[in-house]
Amino acid sequence: MSGPAVTDRDGSWRVAADIGGTFTDVIALGPDGRVVPVKVLSTPPDFGSGVLGGTRAALSAADALPHQVTAMLHATTVATNAILEMRGAHTALVTTRGFRDVLELGRLRRPLLYDLSWQRPTPLVPRRHRYEIDQRITADGHLEPPADSAELARVADEIRAAGIEAVAVCLINSYVRPEEERRVAAELRALLPGTYVTASVDITPQMQEYERTSTAVVNSYVGPQVHDYVTALGEGLREAGVSAPLMIMQSSGGLLDAPSVVGRPVQIIESGPAAGVIAVRKLSQLMGLDSVVAFDMGGTTAKASLIEHGEPFVAGDYEVGGGMNITRGMGKGAGYALRVPSIDIAEVGAGGGSVISTDVAGSLRVGPESALPARSRMLRQWRDQPHADRCQCGPGLPQPEGPGRGRVAIEPDLARRAIAPVAQDLGVDIPAAARGAYEVAVSSMTKAVKAVTSERGRDPREAVMVAFGGAGPLYGAAIARELGIDTVIVPVHTGLFSSLGLLVADTERQAVVPHRTDLDALDLLGAEFDRMAKEVTEALRETAPRHTPRYSGSSTCATAVSGSSCPSPSPTGRWTPA
């Protein structure tokens, strides 16, 4: 359920900050629709420093004061990075006896049928840290027997001795009798103060124990990092004089208040990519486009999503950590299952900073490793490495003449020197190596677009592409040509477009409650739904920002390729309250 948008006419500002693998993008939106964009380098491992620095710079450029900020909107990669880099909390699982190996069993799906070297991703909880307890909830909700407090105390002692930082509790059939699992989780919190504890029924109270277990484990695995990050960012904002509520983008495309995110961090795994899709959704609605491919290419990854009739596809479950995030089809089984709503986004490890190299067979590769500062933490190392942006200096390829309006220098000589070793390995000249790397990158990213179009039964030739992100416009036309898409739109503030998505997103809160009843008592279903709607509505009223401007212009469209008609924007772009 989404909260209503209201107008802002009292001189206050809203600030949107999106963390990417390379840059942190901040946009301040004033009451008169003025947009002030700022782009700063991301600051790993303390990403919050970049957000605070960018916010200060944006407010300074806008000649605004921190206390004038009425909403702080944020898209973050902290949860995603914890999974991709396998740097989450040391996590334990407490479950019913006999269900210790659910994480390994999964759904017995093999996404690559003919790759004999493929292996399932390593479980986030090692088997030695999965603890069984003698309790059982039957399918009809009876306890046979209930969990014993003495046994829970023994398990807590073992967890404490193992140095565990987070615990996931998932009991068989707990969705039928959630109070039993919540009791177990509450006792563990009391026995293990300071330990992050997740009860699966508080995240996804639904049947199918594997998906419920996996979701709870991921929630606990990223929970401590998200808690520390959100807490530190909130304190930093308050110290800077920004007292506005912090709202964070969810994977489903809606904003959620920070305290709720800390309790359910699994909902922000795809926070950043979702914000970009929401920006494209708004653009498609304003331009009256029926079918739009959102193509977002940053420094480390490229993402694609499909928007039809003004709305993106939202999946009820998906997988992360398996190379390309999957929400459907036979490709499932490569990552960690999550049963939470998420916009259908296909993501591949090909970005502007993806390393160009050759494999043992002498074939050209682009990515998934990235040479950008967020990964190497050394700008000079990034400058000297061959990566996808370097191939832009080849003949016949797009030649950027100074992106960042002179703030980022384009150095063709440095690019040629970086690509020279790859060209030598291939036995070709430097321009040929650059052209080859460009085509390999295009091929990789074309697969992501196909995953959300042709693999979904949609003809990409009937869609319009919106290419954004720091590198999206450089590759969008080539990908469109491969797929037969004849129109590519490049929006203003293309490198900060996801931040614009935060400014037009609604507040959103999901609720799931299991409801078991006989067929002759289905009238009770309506009463239960009304109760849930009232509860969620009250929560939205309490947590939604006070002001949410609506975008009412068409100036997000800056450039059209191959026949698209688009009004010319103002030099800075202007957003106006409705």
Is residue 242 within 8 A of residue 348, CB to CB? The reply is no
What percentage of the chain exceeds 90 in pLDDT?
A: 50
Is residue 48 within 8 A of residue 222, CB to CB? The reply is no
Reply yes or no on whether the pLDDT at 540 is more than 70.
yes
List the one residue out of 133, 129, 134, 128 whose CA is nearest residue 92.
129
The residue ranking higher by pLDDT, 309 or 571, is 309
pLDDT for res 237 = 95
What is the DSSP track for 494-517? Answer: GGGHHHHHHHHPPBB---------
Is residue 155 within 8 A of residue 94, CB to CB? The reply is yes
Is residue 16 within 8 A of residue 30, CB to CB? The reply is no
Joined tokens for residue 45: 């491992």
List the one residue out of 577, 459, 578 whose CA is nearest residue 12.
577
Give me the chain's average pLDDT, please. Answer: 82
Q: What are phi and psi of 154, to 5 degrees?
A: -65, -45
- Tell me which of 232-241, 451-460, 465-474, 512-521 is least confident: 512-521
Q: How confident is the model at residue 21 (pLDDT cuts 50, 70, 90)?
A: confident
Joined tokens for residue 574: 């202007």
pLDDT per position as a tens digit, 423-433? 878 788 888 88
69-83, 312-326, 511-525, 557-571, range with greatest mean pLDDT: 69-83
What integer is the mean pLDDT of 96-108? 89
How many CB atoms are located within 10 Å of the residue 290 CB?
12
What integer is the mean pLDDT of 557-567? 31
Cα–Cα–Cα angle for 95, 98, 100, rounded to 5 degrees: 50
Is residue 345 within 8 A of residue 305, CB to CB? The reply is yes
Rounded Cα distance, 69 and 59, in Å: 9
Is residue 72 within 8 A of residue 237, CB to CB? The reply is yes
pLDDT for res 550 = 38
pLDDT for res 213 = 96
Cβ partners under 8 Å of residue 33, min gap 6: 549, 553, 574, 575, 576, 577
What integer is the mean pLDDT of 531-544? 84
- Tell me which of 1-5, 215-219, 481-485, 574-578 is least confident: 574-578
Rounded Cα distance, 74 and 238, in Å: 15
pTM of the predicted protein model:
0.82
Q: How confident is the model at residue 500 (pLDDT cuts 50, 70, 90)?
A: very high
Is residue 503 within 8 A of residue 466, CB to CB? The reply is no
Joined tokens for residue 369: 């490793």
pLDDT for res 559 = 29
Rounded Cα distance, 502 and 548, in Å: 10
What integer is the mean pLDDT of 98-123? 82
Rounded Cα distance, 498 and 243, in Å: 23
- Give SS3 for 569: coil
Reply yes or no on whether the pLDDT at 396 is more than 70.
no
pLDDT for res 171 = 96
What integer is the mean pLDDT of 538-546? 76
Looking up tokens 């390309």, which residue turns up?
A: 324
What is the DSSP track for 74-143? Answer: EE--HHHHHHHTT----EEEEEETT-TTHHHHTT---S-TT-TT--PPPPSS-GGGEEEES--B-TTS-B
Reply yes or no on whether the pLDDT at 545 is more than 70.
no
Reply yes or no on whether the pLDDT at 24 is more than 60.
yes
What integer is the mean pLDDT of 144-156? 94
Q: Which amino acid is at 335?
A: G
Query: Which class for 260: exposed (0-12), middle (13-18), buried (19 or more C-beta within 10 A)?
Result: middle
Q: Which amino acid is at 417?
A: R
Rounded Cα distance, 320 and 333, in Å: 10
Joined tokens for residue 451: 């995953």
Reply yes or no on whether the pLDDT at 548 is more than 50.
no
Rounded Cα distance, 462 and 441, in Å: 23
pLDDT for res 564 = 30
What integer is the mean pLDDT of 365-383? 49
Q: Is the bond preceding residue 386 a cis peptide, omega within 30 degrees?
A: no
Is residue 305 within 8 A of residue 343, CB to CB? The reply is yes
- Tell me which of 10-14, 436-440, 492-496 is least confident: 10-14
Q: Is the bond preceding residue 577 a cis peptide, omega within 30 degrees?
A: no
pLDDT for res 137 = 92
What integer is the mean pLDDT of 76-81? 86
**Which residues lie across from 63 on neighbouring strands?**
none
Reply yes or no on whether the pLDDT at 379 is more than 60.
no
Reply yes or no on whether the pLDDT at 372 is more than 70.
no
Q: Are strands 91-96 and 130-133 parallel, antiparallel or unpaired?
A: parallel
- Which DSSP state fits 559? E
Is residue 37 within 8 A of residue 26, CB to CB? The reply is yes
pLDDT per position as a tens digit, 168-206? 999 999 999 999 999 999 999 999 999 999 999 999 999
pLDDT for res 424 = 79
How many CB atoms are located within 10 Å of the residue 309 CB?
10
Joined tokens for residue 135: 């309790």
Beta-strand (E) ranges in 441-487?
464-468
Reply yes or no on whether the pLDDT at 383 is more than 60.
no
Joined tokens for residue 290: 């029926």
pLDDT per position as a tens digit, 213-261? 999 999 999 999 999 999 999 999 999 999 999 999 999 999 999 999 9
Q: In this structure, is the dihedral angle defined by the CA atoms of residues 219, 220, 226 and 231, taken in order, positive or negative?
A: positive
**Which residues lie across from 468 on neighbouring strands?**
296
**Within the chain, what is the greatest distance between any pair of CA atoms?**
77
Looking up tokens 């289905």, which residue turns up?
A: 522
pLDDT per position as a tens digit, 306-352? 999 999 999 888 888 755 454 454 456 668 999 999 999 888 876 66
The residue ranking higher by pLDDT, 443 or 487, is 487
Reply yes or no on whether the pLDDT at 541 is more than 50.
yes
Q: What are phi and psi of 302, to 5 degrees?
A: -125, 135
pLDDT for res 323 = 53
pLDDT for res 304 = 93
Rounded Cα distance, 29 and 505, in Å: 14
Joined tokens for residue 502: 């935060």
